[in-house]
Amino acid sequence: MTEVVLAAAPTQILAERRRFRVLRKLAAHRSFKIGLVLVTILVLCAIIGPMLTGIDPTAMSIRSRFKPPSVRFPFGSDQYGRDILTRVLYGGRLSLSLGLSVALISGVFGALIGVTAGYFRALDPYVMRLMDALMAFPAILLAIGIGAALGAQASSIVVALSVAYVPRTARIVRASVLVIREMEYLQAARVSGAGDLHIILKHVLPNCLGPLIVQLTFIFAYAILAEAALSFLGIGPPPPAPSWGNIIAEGRDYSVEAWWVMLFPGLAVSLAALGMNLLGDGLRDVLDPRLKIET
Amino acid sequence: MAEQPLLSVENLTVQFRGDNGWVNAVEGVDFAVGAGECLGIVGESGSGKSVSALSILKLHSQANTRYASGTIRYGDRDLLTLPQRRLRQVRGGEIAMIFQDPMSSLNPVLTIADQIMEPLRQHQGLSVQAARRKAIELLEMVRISDASRRIDDYPHRLSGGMRQRVMIAIAVACRPKILIADEPTTALDVTIQSQILELLRELQREIGMAVILITHDLGVVAQFAQRVVVMYAGRVVETASVPALFERPMHPYTEGLIRAVPNLDEDVHRLTTIPGSIPDPSTLIAGCRFSPRCREAVKSCLAEPPALVDAGAGHFARCPPRIAAGGIS
Amino acid sequence: MSAASIVVVRDLVKTFAARGALLRAVDGVSFDVRQGETLGLVGESGSGKSTTGRILVGLEAATSGSINLFGQEISSVRGRVTPGAVRRRLQFVFQDPQNSLNPRMRAQDAIAEPLDVAGGWSRSARSDRVRELLEMVGLPRSCGDRFPHEFSGGQRQRIGIARALALKPDFVICDEPVSSLDVSMQAQIVNLLLDLQERLGLSYLFIAHDLAVVRSISARVAVMYAGGIVEIAPKRELYTSPLHPYTQALLAAVPRMTSNRARAAVITGELPSQIDAVPGCTFHPRCPFAFERCRIEKPKLREIAPGHLAACHLHETPA
């Protein structure tokens, strides 16, 4: 057995270097870094920004209607004289947490449905046809329908968008499960006498998490954009509580005279979507071994 | 080999982009092949045997590969510095290649006819009819029975052995001067392997081409090649004629490798092993790259990289202590 | 056969439906494995050797036939449930240690998975057992917290073996355990399997395509072709005086390092695709000695010398 001791030395050195390979690769990935910075800034602004300005986002002041950007109103003010900067900072809280909720909910349900369909092949045709049917509707249309039925409130938008995006996450998870179920380590587990639940929890789920996380960053971005679109159509989170979407929606009638009302929340939406997409691209490059060849 | 070799690789160093910068995949590799000769390049995974051979035609992805040093002399040209356009004329024409996996080397949506006719039309400018006639001839040449019917089949209708025959037919279509065969029988069963090796031997004689056979299988080299290059961890460790190498291996690695192969014709209680495992290309080893696994390593082996030393009669080994001691222990 | 047989397989058949036709992957296979011995099962791809191993361990259901493990009859047919007590004594080593280890599971968890599934192991008992197993297969005791990609191919196969030994099995099926490894690693793993057998009294079914590797580890060897066993004999006899023309061809086809290019006899043709079942002997289209009877009647496996069985009309004494 002395022969193996010899072998251990060089690999040990290697192991130390390989352990944090994913993190090191992410740190070296340019678009991931840009995305991370963007998203971090936006999240920090939404969390601590409102405390710094100390202004009530719903406080109206007739005298300061439609003030262009200035020292007092850095982003200008709207038709009720409310500070746009404060409203954008507060709106970030709602919009970002809405995006996060949609990503988490569609992630959890998508994983459940995808694993069920991919692992238990007998259920697959039924489950996936249902998903196909859902996917046949444009996400926005589906959300409008559900939003209208549940009433205009933030929670119904979360439900509506989650329903719209679940088929996408379910498809991604199912596709990974179909690959994983053919791997020998599943058979090895089965030979050890492992049951389906053990195999799903220990082997299937951990290995399909990578692609799912990547997809969720994109869904996060879509959800923020969709919230803006739904607000624009009048079924977003109801005023006066600000979201990026409803600030834009309220500003659209004055877009020529008071361009700043729409511009700043619009910028926030774009930056958030861009940031999440860059983040997702970076994760995909690093986590997906099939794309590793050309970076 | 006294006269000018057909192709000679000199001091070739190829680097791949790794996680932490450039890594030497092969380092200072020299070998040469004469007209009509069969050269075997043998080694385990990570030895750089395939990397060296693929470099002859510069088949590595350009973005992640760097040819840090060396020349590949073919006639009066250096293939490493040849412009892409001129290199394309050499590829598939004068120097052809077959690979390990005939499944992925053939395009599944094209018929055998399409794939054999393409190089004929490109390199020899044949008309469709003439190319088809030639393609059927080629299939007959690689001993595919019923060639005129088989030619319109798609690859998935053929067995692994048949696909490798088709690949060989494509490779020899332009009567190349050199055929590079990268593990051509590794994916095949042993009875099919012997058929393919027999076919290659016959074609080599008929066409008079040189063959560079890359393999991990010492038995295949012993049966097929005239000279052999043994590689380990990116370097050539020994070069010799086949009889000399198998009768008097000079390098401890070569000797260990030959002894580690289980013997088909004898009962042994335990196999002889080489301790340790093959180093990763990015692992830095001062001195001889085999020294961590070598039972005979002395102080000088750990200090500086040994040179490939001539032991006489065309037998070279990268092990100065062994050669100083007069060869085999 | 002998009283000490711990595995008895009789007339095992496995058919697959493929493009409307029945494919007989395993076609009436019978063999025994005795206590403490290694039976080698060699054959080329498509011979049914791996399917046979997978049926024994329960990864596939047999179409018909009987399997007796450790004196207990296992209904081999579809829907069988191997009793846990029997399954625990039977383990499997996979071909490719790259694929048979979950890339996101640490070595210690992969090795302990059979323990976790079986249950009843305390944390400390579990980690003691893992360290003991690591040492047993020649890995450093401390490497359990590493992931599979941090090991070399040979080391990964050691983990696969440690895992198979976790529940102290009596019988281990090794399916091409060294065929994806380099020569220098291969010899280490073969020696490890030999050591473990000696130390733990294991019995192996060693499935491989490499005749030389099989010779180095087996006591007896069975040769499979097109779903059936064509010859089975103690290893020295099989390698020095093979009776079946296929075994002879197989041995002749292996390129030797030593022989001075005594040109290997090349047999023509390829394995039948099995969908269009060959009448008579499955090997007759490639057999240089085939005669009329071979084309009509399928030869039975029968004892020609003591312990040496072959399925070939050439070796039948006229009735």
Q: What string of H, E and C letters represents the secondary structure of chain C?
A: CCCCEEEEEEEEEEEEEECCEEEEEEEEEEEEEECCCEEEEECCCCCCHHHHHHHHHCCCCECEEEEEECCEEEECECCCCCCHHHHHCEEEECCCCCCCCCCCCCHHHHHHHHHHHHCCCCHHHHHHHHHHHHHHCCCCHHHHHCCHHHCCHHHHHHHHHHHHHCCCCCEEEEECCCCCCCHHHHHHHHHHHHHHHHHHCCEEEEEECCHHHHHHHCCEEEEEECCEEEEEEEHHHHHHCCCCHHHHHHHHHCCCCCCCCCCCCCCCCCCCCCCCCCCCCCCHHHCCCCCHHHHHCCCCCEEEECCEEECCHHHCCCC
Q: Which of A76-80, B109-113, C174-178 has the lowest mean pLDDT?
A: A76-80
Contacts of B292 in chain A (CB under 8 A): 6, 9-10
In 10 A of CB C299, how many CB atoms? 22
Residue A284's pLDDT band, with cuts at 50, 70 and 90, is: confident
> Taking a C-beta distance cutoff of 8 angstroms, is the pair A42, A36 a contact?
no
Residue C82's pLDDT band, with cuts at 50, 70 and 90, is: low
- Residue of C194, C258, C259 with shortest CB distance to B270: C194
Q: Which of A223-237, B73-87, B237-251 has the lowest mean pLDDT?
A: A223-237
B246 touches C: beta carbon within 8 Å: yes
Res C262: pLDDT: 52
> With an 8 Å Cβ cutoff, are C152 and B278 in contact?
yes
Mean pLDDT of A227-249: 81
- Give every strand in the sheet of B316-317, ordered side by side: B95-98, B178-182, B210-215, B38-42, B227-232, B235-241, B316-317, B309-310
> With an 8 Å Cβ cutoff, are B222 and C255 in contact?
yes
Judged against a pLDDT cut of 50, whether residue B283 lies above it is answered with yes
In 10 A of CB C144, how many CB atoms? 21
Res C49: pLDDT: 94
Distance of CA B86 to the CA centre of its chain: 23
Average pLDDT of chain A is: 81
What is the distance between the alpha carbons of residues B202 and B211, in angstroms, rounded to a whole number?
12
Contacts of A5 in chain C (CB under 8 A): 140
Res B214: pLDDT: 95
In 10 A of CB A121, how many CB atoms? 10
Q: What angle do CA B270, B271, B272 make, to 5 degrees?
A: 120
Tokens of C246: 């296929």
More confident residue, C221 or C81: C221
CATH assignment, C5-89+169-315: 3.40.50.300
Q: Which of A112-121, A262-271, C16-25, C294-303 has the lowest mean pLDDT?
A: C16-25
Which burial class, exposed, middle or buried, applies to A147 when counting CB atoms under 10 A from its CB (0-12, 13-18, 19+)?
Answer: buried
Contacts of B19 in chain A (CB under 8 A): 21, 24-25
Mean pLDDT of A236-244: 79
More confident residue, A62 or C206: C206
Q: Which residue of A has its CA nearest to C114?
A: A192
Residue A13's pLDDT band, with cuts at 50, 70 and 90, is: very low
More confident residue, A21 or B155: B155
> What is the interface size between A and C, counted as CB pairs within 8 Å?
84
Residue C83's pLDDT band, with cuts at 50, 70 and 90, is: low
- Residue of B189, B257, B261 with shortest CB distance to C44: B189
Contacts of B285 in chain A (CB under 8 A): 10
pLDDT digits (tens, 9 = 90+) for A88-115: 888 888 888 889 999 999 999 999 999 9
Q: Give the mutation candidate from B280, B284, B295, B302 for the A interface (greatest A CB count, under 10 A).
A: B280
pLDDT digits (tens, 9 = 90+) for C115-164: 998 888 999 999 999 999 999 999 999 899 988 888 888 899 999 999 99
More confident residue, C40 or B264: C40
Mean pLDDT of B160-177: 90
Judged against a pLDDT cut of 50, whether residue A295 lies above it is answered with no
Res B280: pLDDT: 80
Residues of A with CB under 8 A from a CB of B: 2-4, 6-7, 9-11, 13-14, 17, 21, 24-25, 293-294
pLDDT digits (tens, 9 = 90+) for B90-133: 887 889 999 887 777 888 889 999 888 887 887 788 889 999 99
Residue A6's pLDDT band, with cuts at 50, 70 and 90, is: very low
Residue A235's pLDDT band, with cuts at 50, 70 and 90, is: confident
> With an 8 Å Cβ cutoff, are C99 and A7 in contact?
no
> With an 8 Å Cβ cutoff, are B264 and C211 in contact?
yes
What's the predicted TM-score (pTM) here? 0.85
Residue window 118-157, chain C: list those with CB within 8 Å of chain A. 118, 138-140, 143, 146, 149-152, 154-155
Query: Subunits touching C (CB < 8 Å, at least 3 pairs)?
Result: A, B
- Residue of B162, B190, B198 with shortest CB distance to C254: B190
Q: Which residue of C has its CA nearest to A1?
A: C138
Average pLDDT of chain B is: 88
Contacts of C187 in chain B (CB under 8 A): 260, 262, 271-274
| CB contact set of B228 (below 8 Å; sequence gap of 6+) | B39, B40, B41, B42, B221, B239, B240, B241, B242, B245
What is the distance between the alpha carbons of residues B274 and C183, in angstroms, rounded to a whole number?
9
pLDDT digits (tens, 9 = 90+) for B182-195: 999 988 889 889 99
Residue window 28-57, chain B: list those with CB within 8 Å of chain C. 44-45
Residue A239's pLDDT band, with cuts at 50, 70 and 90, is: confident
CATH 3.40.50.300 in chain C is located at 5-89+169-315
Compute the nearest-CA separation of A2 from chain C (Å): 8
> What is the interface size between B and C, counted as CB pairs within 8 Å?
124
pLDDT digits (tens, 9 = 90+) for B78-90: 998 888 888 888 8
Residue C71's pLDDT band, with cuts at 50, 70 and 90, is: confident
Res A265: pLDDT: 85
pLDDT digits (tens, 9 = 90+) for C4-38: 899 999 999 998 887 667 788 898 999 999 999 99
Compute the nearest-CA separation of C35 from chain A (Å): 21
pLDDT digits (tens, 9 = 90+) for A192-215: 888 899 999 989 998 888 889 888
Contacts of B297 in chain A (CB under 8 A): none
More confident residue, A63 or C212: C212
What is the distance between the alpha carbons of residues C197 and C155, in angstroms, rounded to a whole number?
19
| Length of chain B counted residue by residue | 329
Mean pLDDT of B223-243: 94
Q: Which of A64-68, A144-148, A269-273, B255-259 has the lowest mean pLDDT?
A: A64-68
Tokens of C303: 């004892």
Place of tokens 């296992």: C74
B125 touches C: beta carbon within 8 Å: no
Res A234: pLDDT: 78
Judged against a pLDDT cut of 50, whether residue C3 lies above it is answered with no
Average pLDDT of chain C is: 87
Residue A49's pLDDT band, with cuts at 50, 70 and 90, is: confident
Res B329: pLDDT: 43
Res B313: pLDDT: 84
DSSP B21: E
Mean pLDDT of B258-287: 86
> With an 8 Å Cβ cutoff, are A4 and C104 in contact?
no
Compute the nearest-CA separation of A6 from chain B (Å): 5
Contacts of A16 in chain B (CB under 8 A): none
| CB contact set of A34 (below 8 Å; sequence gap of 6+) | A275, A278
Mean pLDDT of A277-289: 78
A205 touches C: beta carbon within 8 Å: no
Q: Which of B123-127, B219-223, B302-306 has the lowest mean pLDDT?
A: B123-127
Contacts of C105 in chain A (CB under 8 A): 185, 202-203, 206
Compute the nearest-CA separation of C270 from chain B (Å): 7
Mean pLDDT of B140-165: 88
> Percent of chain C at pLDDT above 90?
54
Q: Which residue of C has its CA nearest to A14?
A: C150
Mean pLDDT of B159-165: 89
What is the distance between the alpha carbons of residues C163 and C157, in angstroms, rounded to a whole number?
10
Res B203: pLDDT: 93
Judged against a pLDDT cut of 70, whether residue C205 lies above it is answered with yes
Residue C311's pLDDT band, with cuts at 50, 70 and 90, is: very high
Judged against a pLDDT cut of 60, whether residue C284 lies above it is answered with yes
Which stretch, A31-45, B92-106, B235-249, has highest mean pLDDT? B235-249
Strand partners of residue B121 = none
Res C188: pLDDT: 93
Residue window 164-183, chain A: list those with CB within 8 Å of chain C. 183
ipTM over 0.90: no
> Phi and psi for C18 in degrees, rounded to 5?
-135, 120
Strand partners of residue C205 = C39, C173
Mean pLDDT of C155-184: 93
Beta pairing class for C302-305 and B210-215: unpaired
Judged against a pLDDT cut of 60, whether residue A291 lies above it is answered with no
| CB contact set of B38 (below 8 Å; sequence gap of 6+) | B204, B210, B211, B212, B213, B224, B225, B226, B227
